C-alpha cells in the first residue's frame, strides 16, 4: 500500500513526532508506515486521514502490483 503521509505532513508543517503524538502512536510507527514497511490498521489509517481532514483514499492508495496470480 502506497501512502502520501510525508506529503501531507509537509503541507501541514508537521514532523513525524508531531503526527505520532496527534494520533497516539510512536514516531517509529509513522516512519515505518511512510516507508511502506508497516501497513496500518483501518482504525489507524482513519486517524491519520482525519488528522489531515481528507478522505482516507487521498492518503492511502492500494497497490496491487505486488500481487501474483497462480494459474494452473
Q: Is the pLDDT of residue 71 over 70?
A: no
**How many degrees, rounded to 5, is the angle at CA 4 between CA 30 and CA 66?**
90
47 vs 72 pLDDT, higher one: 47
- Say what the pLDDT of residue 70 is: 56
pTM across the whole model: 0.83
Q: Where are the beta strands (DSSP E) in the chain?
A: 2-3, 60-61
Query: How many other CB atoms sit within 10 Å of the CB of residue 48?
Result: 24
The grid cell for 38 is: 508497516
pLDDT at 1: 86
Domains annotated for the chain, with CATH where assigned, are: 2-57 (1.10.260.40)
Overall size of the chain counted in residues: 72
The pLDDT tens digits of the residues spanning 7-58 come to: 999 999 999 999 999 999 999 999 999 999 999 999 999 999 999 999 999 9
Amino acid at each position: 500500500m502506497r501512502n502520501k503521509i510525508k506529503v501531507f505532513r509537509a503541507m501541514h508543517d508537521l514532523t513525524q513526532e508531531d503526527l505520532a503524538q496527534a494520533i497516539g502512536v510512536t514516531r517509529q510507527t509513522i516512519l515505518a508506515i511512510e516507508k511502506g514497511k508497516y501497513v496500518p490498521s483501518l482504525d489507524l489509517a482513519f486517524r491519520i486521514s482525519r488528522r489531515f481532514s481528507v478522505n482516507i483514499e487521498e492518503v492511502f492508495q492500494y497497490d496491487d502490483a505486488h500481487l501474483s496470480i497462480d494459474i494452473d
